[in-house]
Structure 1
């Protein structure tokens, strides 16, 4: 795989380009749409093999693999009139847009593969869920931290819903920091400590010999501080509310 095109150069597009090109040997040729012009220009200046095309059709024409990463609401405008020959492979990273929908929009018989790349692909450390499995696409994401093909679109949508919890986790950490600041801790100290605390938790997740329930239990002392917060704040009602929010998101994605 030598030529990769990206239509829609936002945060995910930037992460994919960085993961493919930063320190990679060899790195592929990457063709970017002018959409997201500032980011595309920055990437083309940073990486020798990255070029910004005049329009989306040029991206498709010059690429073997075309990654579509525009926002769901912008897809019809961005993809209108685009011609995609059957020898291309199209990777659909638009949340909530199924391949049947995209095939109607593009009117193409090219292979279509859905994928859920996350920002950590820039460090080649994030597993990407794909559907259906395709050797070219799976190889692409193996380079970026790993590929996890799933059996059907229903399973794909479940994984997609899980990604909707990421910013909630960041806001949770920000709330902890704000609480410490409110109790007299300097902002930079609170921020540094909370980051360090949960970076350690993240490293513990690398121990796949223990389930997540086991990890939680191993980090909790009976009648200790962690048990107190878990049982008084993350109650059964809060757990149920989280499940309901995920169910609602899943219904929207399907």
Structure 2
């Protein structure tokens, strides 16, 4: 894999470029579309193997692997008139856009692979779900932290639904901080403590010898503070509300 084109240089496009190019011995040639011009220009000035193309078509023509990273609602406008030869490999990272939909939009018989790269691919720490499995795209995402191919698009949509919980996690931490501030703690002190508290939790997640349920149990003392908050706040009604929200998003996807 020597040449990669990226159509749509937003948060995910930027993260992929950084993950592929930052502090590595060898990196592919990367051709960026002019969409997200400021970000594209910054990446081009930062990495000598990254170039900004005159338009989307040039980015496609100069690439072996084409990553479509525009917002799903913008795809028809962004991809209008784009010609993708059948020998290309197209990676679809648009949320909620099935491969059949994208194939119809592009009018191509090229290989299409859906993927869910997260912003942490910039640090090469994110496992990326893909469908279908393909040796070229699996190798690409192994370089960015790991590839996790799934059997069908239904399973892919389940994993896509899970990604919709990320900002809820941040909002939960912000709510904890706000509660502490309401109890008279200085905002900076509350923020610093909550960040440190959950950074430790994040490190514990790297221990794959223990299930998530086991990790929770290992952080609890029977009748202790953690058990009390978990059982009184995250009760059956709360759990059912979360399931309902996830079910609704999955249906839409």
Q: Partner of 1:145: helix, strand, or coil?
A: coil
Which residue in the other structure is 1:203 paired with?
203
- 1:1-254 to 2 correspondences below 5 Å: 1-253=1-253
**Which deviations, in whole Å up to 9, do the C-alpha atoms of 1:132-159 show, x marking residues without a partner?**
0000000000000000000111100000
Q: Partner of 2:209: helix, strand, or coil?
A: coil
Q: Partner of 2:247: helix, strand, or coil?
A: helix
Q: TM-score, normalised by structure 1?
A: 0.98
Runs of 4+, deviation exceeding 6 Å: none
**Count of residues in Structure 1 that have an aligned counterpart in Structure 2:** 253
Q: Which runs of 5+ in 2 are unaligned?
A: none
**Alpha carbon RMSD of aligned pairs, Å?**
0.7
Distance 1:138 1:223 in 2: 46
Distance 1:207 1:133 in 2: 26
Distance 1:212 1:194 in 2: 20
Distance 2:2 2:23 in 1: 16
Q: Which runs of 5+ in 1 are unaligned?
A: none
Q: Partner of 2:126: helix, strand, or coil?
A: coil
**Which deviations, in whole Å up to 9, do the C-alpha atoms of 1:95-137 show, x marking residues without a partner?**
0000000000000000000000000000000000000000000
Q: Partner of 1:73: helix, strand, or coil?
A: helix
Q: TM-score, normalised by structure 2?
A: 0.99
**Which deviations, in whole Å up to 9, do the C-alpha atoms of 1:203-232 show, x marking residues without a partner?**
111111111111111111111111111111
Residue 188 of structure 1: CA displacement? 1.6
Distance 2:118 2:9 in 1: 14
Which stretch shows the higher mean deviation, 70-79 or 217-226? 217-226
Residue 177 of structure 1: CA displacement? 1.0
Residue 42 of structure 1: CA displacement? 1.0
Distance 1:247 1:32 in 2: 36
Q: Partner of 1:114: helix, strand, or coil?
A: strand
Distance 1:236 1:45 in 2: 53
Distance 2:42 2:181 in 1: 36
Residue 60 of structure 1: CA displacement? 0.2
Q: Partner of 2:59: helix, strand, or coil?
A: helix
Q: Partner of 2:162: helix, strand, or coil?
A: helix
Distance 1:136 1:215 in 2: 35
